[in-house]
Amino acid sequence: MIRGFDISHSNDAVNWAKLPADIQFVFIKATEGPTFHDSAFQDNWHAARDKGLMHGAYHFLRVDASAKDQAANFLGRGIDWTLPNVLPPMLDVEDQVPASLNVQITKNKATFIQSITDWINIVSKATGRTPIIYSYKNFFAEYLNNHAWPQNPLWLASYQDKQPGLPIGYNKWHFWQYSDHGQL
């Protein structure tokens, strides 16, 4: 396995010059919903690129906005997906902020599932890359009726030391987030 991490404006600044040698990739939050741009994205993107790391961008999907508007927001960041070391786009699908928005998913799971599918299709067509899905096993079960997108690589959040169990419909994970915190 190779090691990497994800980062957003919510994290402390990374001292890129002192990054451990075994860190080989980073995913950087680019957008959320239809309008939010992560304020640290550009700095983190350029630092990761300059460090020679494989680097990718991710979008946090919101239940209260259309997939089309959210994909446009993400694609509007101007990333060249053909450059070396640029990883496929990633879609972060998990508990909403604020958590009260999770009720909207519960009330109409089919609509949220369709929103995920639509975002994947729009971004895949625009980038020529197959987006990665980030989530956790219980989210698939509780909010997505165990719907799976097995053609899309899976980044599985499972904060434990042993290999994680997989959501129904998947036979492997491509990325395993084994901790929700760390120091670099």
Residue with tokens 């929700």: 180
Side-chain-facing half-sphere of 42: CA atoms under 13 Å: 5
- CA dist 35 and 139 (Å) reads 24
Q: Model confidence at 183, in pLDDT bands (50, 70, 90)?
A: low
Q: Give tens-digit pLDDT for 43-101.
A: 999 999 999 999 999 999 999 999 999 999 999 999 999 999 999 999 999 999 999 99
Distance between CA atoms of residues 31 and 62, nearest Å: 11
**Is residue 5 helix, strand or coil?**
strand
Burial class (CB in 10 A: 0-12, 13-18, 19+), 9: middle
Cβ–Cβ < 8 Å for 69, 105: no
pTM of the model: 0.94
| Average pLDDT of span 164-177 | 91
> Which of 4, 11, 160 lies closest to 90, judged by CA?
4
What local confidence, expressed as pLDDT, does residue 184 receive?
A: 58
pLDDT of 171 reads: 94
Q: What's the rounded mean pLDDT across residues 119-138?
A: 97
Q: How many CB atoms lie within 10 A of CB 51?
A: 15
* Furthest-apart CA atoms within the chain: distance in Å: 47
Mean pLDDT of the chain: 94
**What pLDDT does 134 receive?**
95
Look at the alpha carbons of 87, 91, 94, 100 in this order and tell me if their dihedral is positive or negative. Answer: positive
